[in-house]
Structure 1
Amino acid sequence: MKNLERWKEKIELDDLNADEREIFNQMGMGKSSRRKFVKKVSAASLSIWASSYFSSELYANSVTDFSEKPWKLLNAVKVNFQVNDTSKTLTLDSRMSLLDALRERLTLTGTKKGCDHGQCGACTVIIDGKRNLSCLTLAATCEGKKITTVEGFASNGEMHPMQKAFLKHDGFQCGYCTPGQICSSIALLEEAKNGEASYVTEDIKNFQSDLKLSEEEIRERMSGNICRCGAYNNIVLAFKEVHSGDDEMPTWEFATQEQMDNAKNA
C-alpha cells in the first residue's frame, strides 16, 4: 500500500489524457473518486455479510419443509409410495424422474445423478426388491411401490454387511458410484438366492436357487455399474465376502511375459 502511495505521488493526473484519468478514477486512485471507491468496497462487504446472515435460515430448511404448490405444476400428479420403510406422498410433475424426486423433493442425496441416461448406474435404487435405474424411472409409475435407497440399509445405527465389506476392502475411491454399487450388490444377493440367470450362465434350463456366483458371474452382473476410479477388484472382493464368505484375493492372474510375447507374435 505504501508503494502504491509513493507511485501515485509521482504521477500528475494533469499529465494524463482523459481515458487514462478515467481509468485511474475507476481504480480509486484519483482524488475525487477515493471516497466513492471506499463506499463501494464497504457496500460490497456489507452485502456479502448480509447474504450469509439472511440465507442461513433458508439453507437450514430441507426441501420437504417448504409448502407444496401443485397449482404451479402443469402436469401435477399425486404419488404414494414407501421410501426406506416410510410412507411418502408427493405432488409432483408427471414427467419427474424418480431420481429427481428422491434428491430434490425428499433430500435423499445418497442416490447420485451421473450420466442421467441410464448408462453409469450411479442412480441405482431397489424397487420392490429389484434394482432399477432411477434416472430412467418416472416417479409417477412408483405408486404403491417400496423403494430402498442407500440411506435405508443401516438399521439401529448398524451398517449393512455389504456396506461394511465395501469399507473393509476399500471398494471405492472417490465414492460417487458407491451408493449405486452397494444397491446393486445387495439386490444381486437376492438374485443369486432366487437363481436368476445372467448373460454368462452356462445352462439357463438348469434352474438352481442359492447360486454361488463365480467371479465371472459377479463381474457380468455388476457390469451396469461403472466405477471411473477402477475399484472393480475390491468391489468383487466385498461382494464375495458377503455372498459366500470368501475372503480370498481374486483368482484371475495378470498375463505373464511369455503370454504377452506369444500374443504379440500371433
Structure 2
Amino acid sequence: MTADFTGKTALVTGSTSGIGREVANQLAARGAHVILSGRDEARGEAAVQAIRATGGKADFVRADLTDTRSVTHLAERSVELGGRVDILVNNAGLYPFAPTAEVPLSQFDEVYAVNVRAPFFLVAALAPAMAERGSGAIVNVSTMVATNGMAQMAVYGSSKAALQLLTKSWAAEFAASGVRVNAVSPGPTRTEGTAALGDNLDGLATTTPLNRVGRPEEVAAAIVWLASDAASLVHGAVLPVDGGRLAV
C-alpha cells in the first residue's frame, strides 16, 4: 500500500541535493507539503520548482544550521508556511574525513553544530506541538560508521552516534504522546556530496555483503516508510540501509 501524506507538512533539512532532495520528492509525490531547506538558495528554488512542476506542493527556506538563530528561524518559518509540521527529517549533515590530529577546532565545532545541535533544537521547537496534537514523525539520518569504527571518521561517526542516542531518548520522551522518532543508518551512497570520495566510496561498499554503492532513492524510501503510518509500531529504531553491513 502506497503511503499517503495528503494534508501533512514535512520539513526536510539538507534537501537541495542527494538523499534529502529524494526524500522531499517522494514525500511530495505522496501528497505532503514539503519544506525544503539548505544554504544554497538557487539549488533550493530549483528543487522546489521541480516538485511544483509535477503537481506537488513545496517551499524553500534558506538555513545555515551552524547558526542557532537560523535553526530557530527555520522551525518558525516552516510552521508559518505549512500551518504546522507533522514530519521532521533531520537529513543535513557534514562528513569530513581526516586523521584525528589534523581536525581543527573550527571543523569539529561545525560538524557537531550541524549533525547534533541543529537536530536537537529543531526537535525541541517542533516535537512539543506534535505531542499536543497526538501525532507526528521524526526521522534522523545517521550512518553505518556511527556503530562501526573507521579510521579518519572519528568526528563524523561520533556525531552521528550522538544522533542515534538522541533518537532513542526522544522516542522514550515522546512515544506516549503519539510522536514516533526513528533513524536510518545508510551505508555508502552515491550523491553529490560523496562524489569527492571517488574510488573510496566503492571501497567502502566492498565491506558490505551487497558489494555496491547505494542510490539516494533507496535510502529515501526507507525514510519515507518510517515517516508513514505503515510504521506505526516502530519507535526508537535505527534502521540499517547499508547493503547488509550489519550482517558482517
| Larger gyration radius, structure 1 or structure 2 | 1
* Common fold by TM > 0.5: no
Higher relative contact order at CA 8 Å, sep ≥6: structure 1 or structure 2? 2
Greater per-residue helix proportion:
2
TM-score (norm 2): 0.22
Greater per-residue strand proportion:
2
